[in-house]
């Protein structure tokens, strides 16, 4: 599983990817997926999950999940709703949508119970050690101070990535380790993989790019070239 690299594209709520533009961006990711041997997962804004899941072959993730009950939980983005919309999984505990620690384990269990995969986000090696025990399919390292800043974590804090990878593997974590925050170009991706990750979690560098196909291709080719023979 870990030999095939992963790129998760988080659309967030950037204006460039709202409404029908989410479909356009998702189709760009799908076109790249057809020619580059890299797993590309798309995470559109919540209102577009169903439309995107119905329109492209790429797996679709929700950007978050909530602990509301089935029934009387107005506004909650519950796992059952995410699944019914056609998504394959969810980001969880992103720096912009943190989940209180007591609820994380419950949410992961709930998501898995309905057949959804989880990309769990962490900020520090200490947090990675705790979250690795939840055995999610993906574990993403994102220092919040670098998110959207244009300076890649692989350049600014390479020791953080190395420490997080070491801690996760020491804890017998078997999923894919990703890194995010400031990943802008192919060189950022290559440096990240050299530090031990299996892929990247990206957002603004793609969503705000003038040429979506070109930027996704650049990042995906860097991941493909770094794959183990």
DSSP class of 3? T
Mean pLDDT to the nearest integer, 150-175: 82
CB 117 within 8 A of CB 138: yes
Q: Known catalytic residue: 39?
A: no
**Whether residue 147 has pLDDT greater than 60:** no
Predicted confidence at residue 166, as pLDDT, reads 94
C-alpha–C-alpha distance, residues 223 and 179, integer Å: 12
Q: Is 1's pLDDT higher than 90?
A: no
Residue that wins the pLDDT comparison between 222 and 4: 222
Distance CA 162, CA 214 (A): 29
Residue range 21-25: mean pLDDT, rounded: 98
CATH topology of domain 6-225: TIM Barrel (3.20.20)
pLDDT value, residue 143: 75
When pLDDT is cut at 50, 70 and 90, the band that residue 145 belongs to is low
Of the listed ranges 7-16, 54-63, 121-130, 178-187, the least confidently predicted one is: 178-187
The pLDDT score that the predictor gives to residue 152 is 60
Mean pLDDT, rounded, for 34-56: 97
Ordered by start, the domain boundaries in the chain are 6-225
- The pLDDT of 63-70, averaged and rounded, is 94
Closest listed residue to residue 48, CA positions, set 28, 74, 22, 66: 22
Q: What is the pLDDT of residues 86-138, one digit of tens each?
A: 999 999 999 999 999 888 999 999 999 999 999 999 999 999 999 999 999 99
Q: Is 117 a catalytic residue?
A: no
CB atoms within 10 A of CB 3: 8
Percent of the chain's residues with pLDDT above 70: 92
CA-to-CA distance for 171 and 131, rounded, in angstroms?
Answer: 10
Which structure tokens are listed for 101? 């620690």
Q: What is the pLDDT of residue 12?
A: 97
Q: Give the active site residue among 39, 94, 127, 218.
A: 94
Question: Which of 39, 127, 142, 218 is the catalytic position?
Answer: 142
pTM of the model: 0.94
Mean pLDDT for all residues in the chain = 92
Average pLDDT over residues 54-74: 96
């Amino acid at each position: 599983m870990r030999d095939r690299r992963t790129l998760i594209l988080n659309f967030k709520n950037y204006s460039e990817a709202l409404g029908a533009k989410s479909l356009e961006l998702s189709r760009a990711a799908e076109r790249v997926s057809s020619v580059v041997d890299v797993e590309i997962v798309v995470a559109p804004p919540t209102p577009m999950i169903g439309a995107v899941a119905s329109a492209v072959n790429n797996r679709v993730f929700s950007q978050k999940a909530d602990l509301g009950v089935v029934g009387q939980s107005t506004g909650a983005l519950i796992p059952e709703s995410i699944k019914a919309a056609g998504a394959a999984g969810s980001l969880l505990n992103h720096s912009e949508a943190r989940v209180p620690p007591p609820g994380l384990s419950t949410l992961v269990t709930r998501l898995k119970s309905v057949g959804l995969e989880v990309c769990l986000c962490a900020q520090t090696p200490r947090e990675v050690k705790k979250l690795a025990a939840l055995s999610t399919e993906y574990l993403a390292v994102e220092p919040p101070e670098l998110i959207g800043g244009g300076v890649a974590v692989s350049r600014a804090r390479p020791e953080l990535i190395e420490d997080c990878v070491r801690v996760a593997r020491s804890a017998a974590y078997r999923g894919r380790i990703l890194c995010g925050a400031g990943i802008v170009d192919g060189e950022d991706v290559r440096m990240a993989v050299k530090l031990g990750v299996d892929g990247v979690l990206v957002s603004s560098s793609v969503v705000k790019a003038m040429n979506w196909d070109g930027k996704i291709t650049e990042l995906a080719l860097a991941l493909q070239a770094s794959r183990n023979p």
